[in-house]
Structure 1
Amino acid sequence: MEFKYWEFGKSMIKPVLSFSFLLIPIGLSSFQKLGIEAEIIVTVIRSFIQLLILGFVLQFIIFNNHTNSTTSNYLIMALSYTIMVSVAGYTSGRRARGIPRSVYIAGASILAGTSSTMLFLVLIKVLPFTPRYMIPCMGMMVAGSMRVTGVTMKNLREEMKMQTNLVETALALGATRRQAAAAQVRRSVVLAVSRRLDFIKTMGVVVIPGAVTGILLAGGSPFEAIQLQLVVVSFTLGATTLSSVISTYLCMPFLFTKAYQLQTKVFSSEY
């Protein structure tokens, strides 16, 4: 498919004009002295540039004739996935900075949760294993896992910090690290995943999901849109839940000493 830059430039006029609406929240922020005007502007500019780059990259990947070979497809998907997981691990880990090596824990959790989900999707052949289908799916899984993993790790540290006495009592009575922190782990995972569950519960009633909206705006069939959305729901929920639970297991060695005592310095941090 030939890419026409002039037509693309004309098509970008409306999206750019739509940003003018943001003058209202920027003005309100200034009037209320919230101090987030600069952050709004930087965020919008950053998202615009990132999405623009993504559009050109996907245009090249999907429609370039050089990507027809199987080897090229695999390399493109592997590179895309590596970049996604690396950035997501760093972003998610920063949310839980009080935990040692949080970036690596988050990255490993996201990698484990999303890769196992993708492997299952490939084995049952729900979607074709090509960049056109897998790269968007990777993005949705990694993004969901990134949000949930960071919240889980942060919540786990805060729960352990607030209930230090209960955990230490359980350890003194002979409980393992996992047994002593079972209640805190459970609450951390539930709180992190519950947002995703609430979103799914309201689908079709309050929320029209992004996949459905995109297909409908593109002129696709509503039933095709619903079928795709059901697939998206299953693999994103699976990946996020797996990543969340795995992150709690990977955090344990850094929250306790080898002598089954709490790492005091982890919970005395200001983060």
Structure 2
Amino acid sequence: MSTPTAAELGPVALALVLLAAVAVAAGRLGGIRQGRDVVVVVARALGQVVAVGLVLGLVLRTPALAPLYLALALGVASWTSARRLRSPGTWPLTALAIGGGAAVAAGVVVGVGALEPRVLQVLPFTAQLVGGAMTATTLAGRRMLDDAAADWAGVEGWLAIGASPAQALAPLGRTAAARALAPALDQTRTVGLVTLPGAFVGLLLGGASPLEAARVQLLVLVGLIAAETIAVVVVTTGLGRRVTRRPERS
């Protein structure tokens, strides 16, 4: 694929500026003071996407670097999720949840031959699984900790009658896990009816046939459900075993 020319990038840059301006203006009209945040995140996203594009180009030319790229992605995702949970020492737990979910789902897809074991296919697919598992881990863990903080008297009641922390927090963990999976389930339930997901659109824009795009998109959607389910079970189970005092609320 050829490198985009300045003439091709110009409209993209203009669209980004206008979209950011629309977001800022709409926020001001609605009384939402997020103008600075919009500008910062757009600028940051631009820099990160360009950097990632350059790195991916290098990785695709040197497949041996793919494990290092995925390890970096997992490390950043795990740290980001652990930071959101604001519970000391949770980085190993979030790494296990995110990495375990993504590894199992990707292993199944590649193992049965649904995707060829080539970097060009496996790398972006696994990276999407890591991203989805990170979001689900954060949502489930944060919701569980918030619910525990709000109903700590109930948790202490269970502890007072001899339940272990894991047993006392298990109902909250199940509720948090189920709610964290709702976005992935809804996206899969409404695929093609409400939205055309990113992988589908990207493949179509890249010249793939609709059937080929649909095949890959289905693998992504169902792979995300599998990866995220594993992730939320791991993180809520792990938090249930380690939370022994009232968590900090978000």
Specify every segment of 5 or more residues in structure 2 that has no aligned partner in the other structure, as ranges. none
Correspondence for 1:106: 94
2:54 alignment partner, SS class: helix
Correspondence for 2:80: 91
Task: Tell me whether 1:216 sits opposite 2:204 in the alignment.
Answer: yes
Task: Tell me whether 1:252 sits opposite 2:249 in the alignment.
Answer: no
Correspondence for 2:158: 170
Instruction: Output the amino acid matched with 1:51.
Output: V
1:181 alignment partner, SS class: helix
- Equivalent positions of 1:1-271 (< 5 A) are 7-21=4-18, 22-30=20-28, 34-62=32-60, 64=61, 67=62, 73=63, 75-97=64-86, 99-256=87-244, 263=245, 266-267=246-247, 269=248, 271=250
TM-fit CA distance, 1:38: 1.4
Contact 2:59 2:66 in 1 (8 A): no
Taking the aligned partners of 1:16 and 1:83, their CA distance within structure 2 comes to: 29
Taking the aligned partners of 1:254 and 1:166, their CA distance within structure 2 comes to: 17
1:12 alignment partner, SS class: helix
Specify every segment of 5 or more residues in structure 1 that has no aligned partner in the other structure, as ranges. 68-72, 257-262
Contact 2:159 2:165 in 1 (8 A): yes
TM-fit CA distance, 1:23: 1.5
TM-score by length of 1: 0.84
Taking the aligned partners of 2:29 and 2:218, their CA distance within structure 1 comes to: 43
2:180 alignment partner, SS class: helix
Taking the aligned partners of 1:29 and 1:166, their CA distance within structure 2 comes to: 39
2:136 alignment partner, SS class: helix
Contact 1:100 1:254 in 2 (8 A): no
Deviations 1:236-258 (A, max 9, x none): 111111111101122133212xx
Instruction: Output the amino acid matched with 1:11.
Output: E
Contact 1:95 1:151 in 2 (8 A): no
Contact 1:95 1:154 in 2 (8 A): yes
Instruction: Output the amino acid matched with 1:164.
Output: W
TM-score by length of 2: 0.90
Structure-2 change in CA distance of 1:270 and 1:204 (3 Å): closer
Decide which structure has the larger Cα Rg and report it. 1
TM-fit CA distance, 1:197: 0.9
Taking the aligned partners of 1:145 and 1:52, their CA distance within structure 2 comes to: 24
TM-fit CA distance, 1:104: 3.1
Instruction: Output the amino acid matched with 1:177.
Output: P
Taking the aligned partners of 1:151 and 1:168, their CA distance within structure 2 comes to: 24
Taking the aligned partners of 1:188 and 1:32, their CA distance within structure 2 comes to: 30
Sequence identity of aligned pairs in percent?
Answer: 25
TM-fit CA distance, 1:126: 1.7
Which range moved further: 27-36 or 245-254?
Answer: 27-36
Q: What root-mean-square deviation, in Å, do the aligned CA atoms of Structure 1 and Structure 2 show? A: 2.0
TM-fit CA distance, 1:213: 1.0
Contact 2:146 2:249 in 1 (8 A): no
Taking the aligned partners of 2:205 and 2:164, their CA distance within structure 1 comes to: 53
Taking the aligned partners of 2:186 and 2:29, their CA distance within structure 1 comes to: 34
Deviations 1:187-209 (A, max 9, x none): 11011111211111111111111
Contact 1:76 1:131 in 2 (8 A): no
TM-fit CA distance, 1:226: 0.9
Taking the aligned partners of 2:155 and 2:26, their CA distance within structure 1 comes to: 46
TM-fit CA distance, 1:172: 2.9
TM-fit CA distance, 1:154: 0.8
Taking the aligned partners of 2:32 and 2:89, their CA distance within structure 1 comes to: 33
Contact 1:156 1:188 in 2 (8 A): yes
